[in-house]
């Protein structure tokens, strides 16, 4: 089995057994589990998973690109999640579960290390709460906007991803979040930048899926 396939199985099992709000996980192809699949019409480039979740406001869907962490270049190349997002927003790729067209709320990246709270193979963990109390990091951690512990490479990667997305996100009327899937004490959480329609601005969120 290829490392990326192993990573997919780890993430599938983690979401199915540890998530509080995940209703179903769909693969993009036939799989060793014989599990449910999603499909697309139009441009066939697509992420590995579609996840249906309900955090108390009705069913929503997010897309996950899964990579193996042993080759850091593969994770960096997962920035193509932005291309999937653009194709979706430009209606070049349309997503379906069965015969039902679905709307994608967020596009995120994961690796088999996501349950540990970071993406890359071997990372140094940064204790954000240990930062000086007058810093934005300490304040954001106290408010639980960001994780207490962040991998040093994951920290840089997610913010680079957000910067790239920041250059194009206002070009589209539909607002999709983008980010990563990481664990907090082995509980799946999504760390994203998303649009707050009430405040009419983009912001960072870290929430339990």
Mean of the per-residue pLDDT values of the chain: 93
Phi/psi at 123 (nearest 5 deg)? Answer: -120, 155
Sheet hosting strand 39-42, strand order edge to edge: 39-42, 93-97, 100-102
The pLDDT tens digits for 168-202 are 999 999 999 999 999 999 999 999 999 999 999 99
119's tokens: 């993406």
CA–CA dist 4, 77 (Å, integer): 13
How far apart CA 50 and CA 37 sit, in angstroms, is 8
Whole-number pLDDT of residue 77: 80
Hey, is 146 helix, strand or coil?
coil
pLDDT band at 1 (very low <50, low <70, confident <90, very high): confident
Q: In this structure, are residues 34 and 26 in contact, taking their beta carbons and an 8 Å threshold? A: no
Question: What percent of the chain is modeled with pLDDT above 70?
Answer: 100
pLDDT at 141: 85
Phi-psi region of 140 (alpha: psi -120 to 50; beta: other; left: phi over 0): alpha
pLDDT at 71: 81
Q: What are the tokens at 89?
A: 């927003």
Looking at residue 201, its pLDDT comes to: 94
Residue-wise pLDDT for 82-104, tens only, equals 999 999 999 999 999 999 999 99
**Is the predicted pLDDT of residue 78 greater than 80, yes or no?**
no
10-66 residue pLDDT tens: 999 999 999 989 999 999 999 999 999 999 999 999 999 999 999 998 999 999 999
| Paired tokens of 207 | 């929430």
pLDDT at residue number 132? 84
pLDDT at 131 over 90: no
Q: Quote the tokens at residue 177.
A: 């979040």
Paired tokens of 61: 């869907």
What's the pLDDT band for 144 if we cut at 50, 70, 90?
A: confident
Residue 140 has which token pair? 């954001």
Tokens of 99: 């015969």
């Amino acid at each position: 089995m290829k490392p990326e396939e192993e990573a997919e199985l780890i993430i599938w099992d983690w979401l199915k057994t540890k998530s509080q709000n995940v209703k179903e996980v769909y693969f993009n192809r036939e799989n060793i589990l014989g599990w449910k699949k999603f499909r697309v019409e139009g441009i066939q480039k697509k992420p590995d998973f579609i996840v249906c979740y309900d955090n108390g406001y009705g069913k929503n869907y997010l897309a996950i690109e899964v990579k193996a962490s042993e080759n850091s270049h593969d994770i960096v190349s997962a920035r193509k999640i932005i291309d999937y997002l653009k194709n979706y927003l430009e209606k070049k790729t349309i997503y379906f579960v069965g015969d039902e067209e679905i709307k994608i709320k967020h596009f995120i990246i994961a690796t088999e290390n996501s349950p540990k709270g970071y993406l890359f193979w071997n990372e140094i963990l940064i204790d954000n709460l240990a930062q000086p109390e007058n810093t934005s990091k300490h304040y954001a951690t106290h408010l639980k906007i960001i994780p207490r512990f962040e991998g040093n490479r994951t920290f840089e990667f997610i913010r680079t991803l957000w910067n790239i997305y920041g250059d194009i996100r206002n070009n589209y009327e539909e607002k999709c979040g983008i980010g990563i899937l990481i664990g907090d004490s082995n509980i799946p959480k999504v760390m994203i930048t998303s649009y707050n329609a009430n405040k009419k601005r983009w912001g960072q969120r870290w929430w339990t899926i």
